[in-house]
Chain A
Amino acid sequence: MESKLDGVVEEEETRKVQFDASEIEYVSYGGEHHLPLIMNLVDQELSEPYSIFTYRYFVYLWPQLSFLAFHRGKCVGTVVCKMGEHRGTFRGYIAMLVVIKPYRGEGIASELVTRSIKVMMESGCDEVTLEAEVTNKGALALYGRLGFIRAKRLFHYYLNGVDAFRLKLLFPRMESHPSLPLMANAADNQRDNDGL
């Protein structure tokens, strides 16, 4: 989530927890009882909380795209997404991704988004997008490793005046092979040129 609190963080909250990766349990959104867990996690990262309608919109319509990570019964991370038509392409969108501080840096977020992205891919998405603050180094690195490129910079995107990047991950297409012309359109233009 993007507009983060820059306030002081309690010592207690940031202290790393020792755990083994195998102790983390990943579950797909399972119903209303998961909603407060998700809200709680995301709100911690925001300077102002989102309204409950915002959360409901996502998890009711695309429950299969939201995941939660648990450690010994405690919810420590979550991802919330959607997908749909966008200008002729079928597009996945990652709305929120959070892992609480003591559990960061252990690959939990990567595992959460990877699960969502896989479902998007299997559902026939052509690409996945999201926005991240230009200053959010952690998220940018994470998505970079997954193959996202920074497609655009969005000027003053956030209410605090910070710019954002629109990140995009394009899935390989069946017909797309490097040795073929990139676009049907490019091939047409080519023909015009040759004809002259």
Chain B
Amino acid sequence: MDPKMDSGMICKYYSVDEAIENGAAPIPLSFDRTVDVQCTIDIMDHLLSCEATWHRGHSLAQTVFSCIYLLRPDRTSSHALLHSYCSVIRATCKAVIAVVSDARTHEEEDLFIMAYGLPLTGDGDDKCLSMLNAVEETICRQLRACKSPLLKNRAPEDVEPLQNSFDLEEHYCRALLCRLRFRKHFYHVLTCMRRPQGRGLELARKHIASCLLELDLIRNSSTFLSNNSFGKDDSEDTTTASGRQPLGFDSSLNCRLSAPTPPRAIKLLSWKKALDYFVKLLRDLDNICSYSLDTFLEGVFRFVVQFQKSQPDLVARSLLQFLLVQDGKLYGRDPLYAVITKAAGLPESAKNHENLKNQYIVQLGQLVINLLRVLCTNSAWQRRKLGKILQDWRVIYMQMEMAFKKDIAEIVSISNGENAWMKIFQHILIWVEEQTYWISSRFLVLGFELELYSPSDYCMVYWYLSVVLIKLVEKIHLRALMNNETGKRKGKKKGASKDIGKDFRIPPAVSFLQCQVCLAEGLVMMLAALRNEHMIAQSPSPFNSEYERFFQHFELLQKACIPDNITYDSYEQSTRLARISNLVTYNCFKDAQKIAKELKSSFSNDPEKLVELRRIEQVAEHNSVALNLIHKVGGLDPSLKISFEFNHHPYFGTALVKRS
């Protein structure tokens, strides 16, 4: 059942004031200055756990703002250390909310950005960095003083120590410094990454490196802090380095402010897990910052897809989206019509054509922006959205095609200028189809990553995938041919274009996809043959048939006619006759292997593609062997158990043959 359908909550205090009156958040935290410092560090650590838990999808009210000190910004002003820390926390939360709400992809962030009623801005939070610097400066002096006591005796500069115990002074100073510095650099990372057109990325990387360094120091400080702590809890779940419970938190306080959040108690990430979370976040951010702002759309897509493989969380994905799409332009820099003409492989000069301002190209630009946004969302959400936007891509294609045909008919005597435009238009038209099939293939492939297919669905999924990939290959090939032709026309005289087919080499990108097509087709036939020969378990459902499953899995593709004329019948017919014996003679896996081998040299400086080719080879080889084995012993041995695994490739399965 949906957990949001249930309700029920318990609160300890009715209001923040009541909690404060009851002494839940004293200031100072203790009149013993050593204890005061210890408690302050505990609050800092617990806030880190809260912050990471928030980033991972819980409400702000139940996490960071369960801190009573944060809820009453003015109260802390007498405690410079706590005050500056609370201030930078609020400012950071505000900045993070801005990033995520600007990205507005409506995935999981609705809960994330909900902050009404919370004091996100305290008076003076805009000066949080200077406050932080001042406090840091003081502690630096205290550290220096305690390291050279002689010097201190001589200099009347009068540095009051941080706390009472001389032996612990250096350690406490250091424990505080790394925590303060982390906050400072992290805040800088966010501001740098929000600079327009990726201008702050280089500086952001420096701050990221500093953050990682400070995180290391923070982690190391736990030995000292837990050794000097009483009443600690040694479990792995502790939210502080010392292992103590922090003062001043009550997660039930905001339950009335955060009405739409699930009212149940939440479990915070432990302090160690929170540190791990931030390390991962910073690595993901570093990955974004080192991106070279590719001007080819294909390269952008590739980067995003690759980036997503590390499963970045919401904050990192939102920052990537911010970088990619600003002011309706790619990187806030390149207008979409220019990006599209470049992506379609048109010459630089095409960019200046008048007609590029027409409504279709403008709409198309919007679709590309949407696509970029969707590609930055979590894969569960992404798949659903990709399925939906397919319809838009299909519609614009049909509209453009109609306009194109009408124009062609109207222009009886084609003048030179119009002719040029028709060429551009035609290129873009094919490019649109190509994108549509690319989106479709990504939609299907993501289903594997999300484990949406059960083994009994594999056959139809590979079948659909192969159909879509074949279409994709066709379009890429066609566009390559056209580009080749355009290129030739320029070089040679007219009339020479008749023999373009002859010396035209199949582009490696095309062969690469062909290789995947072979693998998919091999799997379709193998699965179909196993089914037809009753060698894999099938239990017909009491309520519906394969047709309903097919319809449900591919409903969105079917609705958008991707591809035209593809129905359950086509699937049924193409798999009905598959038999193991035929497959052994005509073995698609062998073809895949062969193409993969030949292709390696074409991608010698593309490690990503090489890895993929290697995987394809492995899957093909394994399945080829399995096929032969099944052919030899299958009929004789009814105890043969065949299953599919994804141990060599994320979405092309390998057959596992076992005797049971």
Residues of B within 8 A of A156 (CB): 56-57, 108
**In the complex, per-residue mask of A161-181: 1 if CB is within 8 Å of any chain B CB, else 0:** 101010011111000101101
Q: Whole-angstrom distance between the alpha carbons of A163 and B548 in the complex?
A: 25
Whether the pair B405, A121 counts as a contact (CB closer than 8 A) is no
Residues of B within 8 A of A159 (CB): 3, 262, 264, 266
Whether the pair A147, B381 counts as a contact (CB closer than 8 A) is no
Whether the pair B380, A54 counts as a contact (CB closer than 8 A) is no
B527 to chain A, nearest CB (A): 17
Whether the pair A149, B457 counts as a contact (CB closer than 8 A) is yes
**In the complex, per-residue mask of A57-68: 1 if CB is within 8 Å of any chain B CB, else 0:** 000000000000
Whether the pair B57, A185 counts as a contact (CB closer than 8 A) is no
Residues of A within 8 A of B542 (CB): 114, 146-147
Nearest to B5 among chain A residues (CB) is A54
Residues of B within 8 A of A163 (CB): 380
A22 lies within 8 A of chain B by Cβ: no
Whether the pair B547, A176 counts as a contact (CB closer than 8 A) is yes
B539 lies within 8 A of chain A by Cβ: yes
B553 lies within 8 A of chain A by Cβ: yes
Whether the pair B551, A170 counts as a contact (CB closer than 8 A) is yes
B1-44 with Cβ < 8 A to chain A: 1-3, 5-8
Residues of A within 8 A of B7 (CB): 51, 53-54
Nearest to B541 among chain A residues (CB) is A147
Cβ contact of B559, chosen from A153, A158, A178, A183, cutoff 8 A:
A183
A35 lies within 8 A of chain B by Cβ: no
Q: Whole-angstrom distance between the alpha carbons of A196 and B456 in the complex?
A: 39
B314-331 with Cβ < 8 A to chain A: none
- The main secondary structure of chain B at its interface with chain A is loop
Nearest to B554 among chain A residues (CB) is A182
Residues of A within 8 A of B366 (CB): none
Residues of A within 8 A of B310 (CB): none
B343 to chain A, nearest CB (A): 25
Whether the pair A169, B1 counts as a contact (CB closer than 8 A) is no
Q: Whole-angstrom distance between the alpha carbons of A144 and B452 in the complex?
A: 11
Residues of B within 8 A of A145 (CB): 539, 541
**In the complex, per-residue mask of A91-103: 1 if CB is within 8 Å of any chain B CB, else 0:** 0000110000000
Whether the pair A183, B548 counts as a contact (CB closer than 8 A) is no
Stretch at the interface among A10-18, A70-78, A187-195: A187-195
B512-542 with Cβ < 8 A to chain A: 539, 541-542
Whether the pair B450, A153 counts as a contact (CB closer than 8 A) is yes
Residues of B within 8 A of A2 (CB): 1, 3
B511 lies within 8 A of chain A by Cβ: no
Residues of A within 8 A of B108 (CB): 155-156
B654 to chain A, nearest CB (A): 21
Nearest to A134 among chain B residues (CB) is B451
B426 to chain A, nearest CB (A): 14
Q: Whole-angstrom distance between the alpha carbons of A51 and B5 in the complex?
A: 10
Residues of B within 8 A of A134 (CB): 451
Cβ contact of A169, chosen from B3, B544, B567, cutoff 8 A:
B544
Residues of B within 8 A of A171 (CB): 543-544, 548
Whether the pair B5, A155 counts as a contact (CB closer than 8 A) is no
A41 lies within 8 A of chain B by Cβ: no
Number of residues in B with C-beta < 8 Å to the partner? 55
B568 lies within 8 A of chain A by Cβ: yes
Q: Whole-angstrom distance between the alpha carbons of A33 and B456 in the complex?
A: 42
Whether the pair B543, A186 counts as a contact (CB closer than 8 A) is no
Q: Whole-angstrom distance between the alpha carbons of A109 and B21 in the complex?
A: 53
Residues of A within 8 A of B2 (CB): 131
Whether the pair B539, A178 counts as a contact (CB closer than 8 A) is no
Nearest to A194 among chain B residues (CB) is B564
Nearest to A48 among chain B residues (CB) is B264
Contact A54:B6 (CB < 8 A) given known A159-B264, A171-B544, A181-B567:
yes
Whether the pair B57, A161 counts as a contact (CB closer than 8 A) is yes
A24 lies within 8 A of chain B by Cβ: no
Contact A146:B541 (CB < 8 A) given known A156-B57, A160-B267, A168-B552:
yes
Whether the pair B56, A153 counts as a contact (CB closer than 8 A) is no
Residues of B within 8 A of A192 (CB): 398
B569 lies within 8 A of chain A by Cβ: yes
Residues of B within 8 A of A50 (CB): 1, 6
Nearest to A53 among chain B residues (CB) is B7
B291 lies within 8 A of chain A by Cβ: no
Q: Whole-angstrom distance between the alpha carbons of A165 and B454 in the complex?
A: 12
Residues of A within 8 A of B383 (CB): 152-153
Residues of A within 8 A of B378 (CB): 155
Whether the pair A182, B567 counts as a contact (CB closer than 8 A) is yes
Whether the pair A150, B1 counts as a contact (CB closer than 8 A) is no
A1 lies within 8 A of chain B by Cβ: yes
A163 to chain B, nearest CB (A): 7
Cβ contact of B544, chosen from A114, A131, A170, A181, cutoff 8 A:
A170
Nearest to A130 among chain B residues (CB) is B1
Q: Whole-angstrom distance between the alpha carbons of A160 and B267 in the complex?
A: 8
Cβ contact of B405, chosen from A144, A152, A190, A196, cutoff 8 A:
A196
**In the complex, per-residue mask of B428-470: 1 if CB is within 8 Å of any chain A CB, else 0:** 0000000000000000000000111110110000000000000
Q: Whole-angstrom distance between the alpha carbons of A160 and B265 in the complex?
A: 10
Whether the pair B572, A178 counts as a contact (CB closer than 8 A) is yes
A3 lies within 8 A of chain B by Cβ: yes
Residues of A within 8 A of B560 (CB): 189
A69 lies within 8 A of chain B by Cβ: no
A154 lies within 8 A of chain B by Cβ: yes
Residues of A within 8 A of B380 (CB): 152-155, 163
Residues of A within 8 A of B5 (CB): 54, 95
Report which residue of A114, A131, A150, A160 has the largest number of chain B beta carbons within 10 angstroms of its beta carbon.
Answer: A150
B107 lies within 8 A of chain A by Cβ: yes
**In the complex, per-residue mask of B362-405: 1 if CB is within 8 Å of any chain A CB, else 0:** 00000000000000001111011000000000100010011001
A151 lies within 8 A of chain B by Cβ: yes
Report which residue of B1, B457, B544 has the largest number of chain A beta carbons within 10 angstroms of its beta carbon.
Answer: B1
Q: Whole-angstrom distance between the alpha carbons of A189 and B383 in the complex?
A: 23
A112 to chain B, nearest CB (A): 14
A108 lies within 8 A of chain B by Cβ: no
B496 lies within 8 A of chain A by Cβ: no
Residues of B within 8 A of A183 (CB): 558-559
B52 to chain A, nearest CB (A): 12
Nearest to A145 among chain B residues (CB) is B539
Q: Which residues of B contact A (CB under 8 A)?
A: 1-3, 5-8, 56-57, 107-108, 262, 264, 266-267, 378-381, 383-384, 394, 398, 401-402, 405, 450-454, 456-457, 539, 541-545, 547-549, 551-553, 558-561, 564-565, 567-569, 572
Q: Which residues of A contact B (CB under 8 A)?
A: 1-3, 48, 50-51, 53-54, 95-96, 114, 117, 121, 131, 134, 144-147, 149-161, 163, 165, 168-172, 176, 178-179, 181-183, 185-186, 189-190, 192-193, 196
Q: Could you write out 15 A-B pairs with CB less than 8 Å apart?
A: A2-B3, A51-B6, A54-B5, A54-B6, A145-B541, A149-B549, A151-B452, A151-B552, A152-B383, A161-B56, A170-B544, A170-B548, A181-B567, A190-B561, A190-B564
Add 5 more A-B contacts to A53-B7, A170-B548 (CB < 8 A): A149-B454, A170-B549, A178-B547, A189-B560, A190-B565
9 tightest A-B CB contacts, nearest first: A147-B541, A153-B380, A153-B450, A155-B380, A170-B548, A95-B1, A150-B452, A156-B57, A178-B568
